[in-house]
Amino acid sequence: VDYLSSFKSLHENASSFFDKISTKYVENMSCREGCSQCCYNDDFKINSWEAAVITDWFLNLTPQMKSIFYTLWTKEQTKGLDLKGKESSPCAFLYEERCSIYSARPGNCRAQGVPLLIEDDVEHCPLNFIDLKVPKEDWLDKNRLNKLSNFAQMTFQKHNESEYFLKDNMVLMSKLKSHLMGLL
Ligand code: SF4
């Protein structure tokens, strides 16, 4: 569906910003493959336009890849510590400390790790930028990203087609995983 491509560019922009910052601050950030503490956050909801992007990604996989993911997603997941040190369940898509939907992951996951301007405050992962004050031009404006995401959600609600099953504004990650597994 065409409008999904414009939604995907929101994700690509968030990822480009992350790449720029992680290259500039390579010495000051812990983000790397296998560092997944920010994915231990119990089950959470995403906008249904993002669930549609993930569904679209899944539908375009080869039958062989789909069944590899199906098998992976039936495996048991174990709890771990979140960024505050509290025991939490992992995201429904986290396996072996890696995101199994990495190329289609939601915008919040793409922004995680860089300094985020949220309302009037700036925050970032406690494992990053220790003892470093990051200048404003290197903050990601989360307020703006949220506005764009809400706009995408309104567009999606207008065009939503039954193939995406997504009647609600928000979708739980665990429900989305079950939905994808049911598409096989
Ligand atoms: S979608 Fe991927 S990156 Fe986002 S919380 Fe889940 S496992 Fe982590």
In order, the DSSP letters of 112-154 are TTS-EEETTEEE--TTSSTT----GGGSEEHHHHHHHHHHHHH
Q: Return the residue whose CA atom lies nearest to atom 4 of ligand 1.
A: 109
Distance CA 103, CA 74 (A): 20
Distance CA 142, CA 97 (A): 26
Mutation choice for ligand 1 from 109, 125, 174, 180, CB with most ligand atoms inside 8 A: 109
Mutation choice for ligand 1 from 39, 43, 180, CB with most ligand atoms inside 8 A: 39
Q: What is the pLDDT of residues 104-161, one digit of tens each?
A: 999 999 999 999 999 999 999 999 999 999 999 999 999 999 999 999 998 888 876 6
Q: Ligand 1 — pocket residues by CB below 6 A?
A: 39, 91, 93-94, 99, 101, 105-106, 109
Mutation choice for ligand 1 from 99, 114, 176, CB with most ligand atoms inside 8 A: 99
pTM, two decimals, is: 0.93
Average pLDDT of the residues in 87-110: 97
The identity of residue 120, as a single letter, is: D
> Does the pLDDT at position 162 exceed 60?
no
Residue 54 pLDDT class (50, 70, 90 cuts): very high
Per-residue model confidence (pLDDT) at position 130: 96
Share of the chain above pLDDT 90, in %: 88
Average pLDDT of the residues in 159-182: 82
Ligand 1 center to residue 114 CA distance, Å? Answer: 16
